[in-house]
Chains A and B, each alone.
Chain A
């Protein structure tokens, strides 16, 4: 079989695209002055991260990442911003606090250095038996056996919050 032209470049290219989206989105979220643009950066980073999950053969996690982070978290954040924040960046915001910036920079570099060092030099044993392949079936079995208490508690919290919202909605809003 003759391979598709340049097929050996497709996979590294896709990987670079997702890695670039993750890192670029994160940097964009941190460095911009407008908080609503930060949310867009967060959304971009989430898409990149979802791509990474897909790349690691876990489409379920990838889709859940998009569904939760873009469909729920980002929208909630933007909604909160709309209700609260004026969209003008304040003059000189973040420029006059040099000690804070330096301190934050030192902490960030230290954390990044620590994590990177752990990742590179740490001892990562590969399990002799492949425990789980991260498929939907395995996640489902795990959720209903070993993690069933956590699942039940989460389900209860969600049900209570829906019922609470229903109770508030049914009562209505009365101006006093």
Chain B
């Protein structure tokens, strides 16, 4: 073991943690500005130029608030839940390939690792809701589980479709197969599956649902459940969940970029690099925010019906279709 490798990993860890923190802080600003623009108002303007210092003020507020454990709550699980939420989100950044060279560990099972880490998300939110001893929390916990179980299935079917095309679980391997111009991207791999754009839309819907974003934010539907599983969390307890939510959005969009949109490769075949990855990533994040402020929240049975009656049959069909096409071509 030479000196370079542990130092490289340490730097990557610090870099990933910083990236998560800055993303969480400034995506909140982008979200509030975006929401403002969509609703024809200005958004935050007071703190700093165009409200740019607003996230720092928010962070100061959250960190200086008292941490309260409600009486009757399961104290240990209540404290454990935010701890289970954050580290897997940061660990996922060690696997995501930002560019050819900018990747923490190039695991040959990277894709499975990403989904393994994201499975902590569900159990953390569920424990948070359960341990708060709050009826809104428990309703939210029950919702989050049934929602995530329902949307995990079409998500995995879509992933299998992509895997059959790629033939590798390595994220850098999947990106490398999409080199060249944009018609090599998996999104436009119409020769091996004419329904690929549909597959991408299914993936995007499942990603919105897995990250509990509107219009599927059943877990913290504020007009019905106060703040759902996070109702009883004060100060940084809530702050950690909030940061993890934005980290998960970034991870979900990064998976979409890696699997469908060619990762760090340029759409016109020149200058591949981390620049393109970030551009595509933040475009996807913008779409997520756009969707949130455009569509109203669905009803809960509508949500489950969408998954079980529409997304799962279609994704099974596209899976079989691409199996047949791969066999024939």
Residues of A participating in the B interface, judged by any CB pair closer than 8 Å: 1-4, 7, 10, 34, 36-37, 40, 43, 59-60, 63-64, 66-67, 70-72, 74-75, 78-79, 82, 87, 135-136, 162, 165-166, 169-170
Contacts and interface: CB of A to CB of B under 8 A. Distances in A.
B3 A170 contact: no
Interface string B121-145: 0110011001000000010011001
A7 B80 contact: no
Contacts of A70: 116, 119-120, 123
A40 B127 contact: yes
B2 A3 contact: yes
Interface string B66-82: 00000000101100100
A43 B112 contact: no
A67 B76 CA distance: 24
A87 B141 CA distance: 15
A4 B309 contact: no
A59 B153 contact: no
Given A36-B77, A136-B169, 8 more contacts: A4-B3, A10-B6, A75-B123, A75-B126, A82-B138, A82-B142, A162-B316, A169-B309
Contacts of B169: 136
Contacts of B149: 75
Interface of B: 1-3, 5-7, 74, 76-77, 80, 107-109, 112-113, 115-117, 119-120, 122-123, 126-127, 130, 138, 141-142, 145-146, 148-149, 152-153, 169, 304-305, 308-309, 312-313, 316
A78 B309 contact: no
B122 A60 contact: no
Contacts of A3: 1-3
A9 B107 CA distance: 24
The SS class assigned to the A binding surface is helix
Given A34-B74, A36-B74, A162-B153, A63 B109 contact: yes
20 contacts: A2-B3, A4-B2, A37-B76, A40-B77, A59-B107, A64-B112, A67-B112, A70-B119, A71-B119, A71-B152, A72-B119, A75-B126, A75-B149, A79-B145, A79-B146, A82-B145, A162-B316, A165-B308, A169-B304, A170-B309
A115 B142 CA distance: 40
Nearest to A34: B74
The SS class assigned to the B binding surface is helix
A66 B119 contact: yes
A59 B109 contact: yes
Contacts of A67: 112, 115-116, 119
Contacts of B112: 60, 63-64, 67
B105 to A, nearest CB: 9
Contacts of A37: 74, 76-77
B113 A43 contact: no
Interface centre among B6, B80, B119 (most CB of A within 10 A): B119
Contact of A166 (B74, B152, B309): B309
Nearest to B113: A63
B117 to A, nearest CB: 8
Nearest to A163: B316
Contact of A82 (B3, B6, B119, B130): B130
Contacts of A82: 130, 138, 141-142, 145
Nearest to B81: A40
B113 A166 contact: no
Given A136-B109, A170-B309, A7 B123 contact: no
Contacts of B6: 4, 7, 10
B264 to A, nearest CB: 23
Contacts of B107: 59
Contacts of B76: 37
A82 B135 CA distance: 12
A67 B112 CA distance: 8
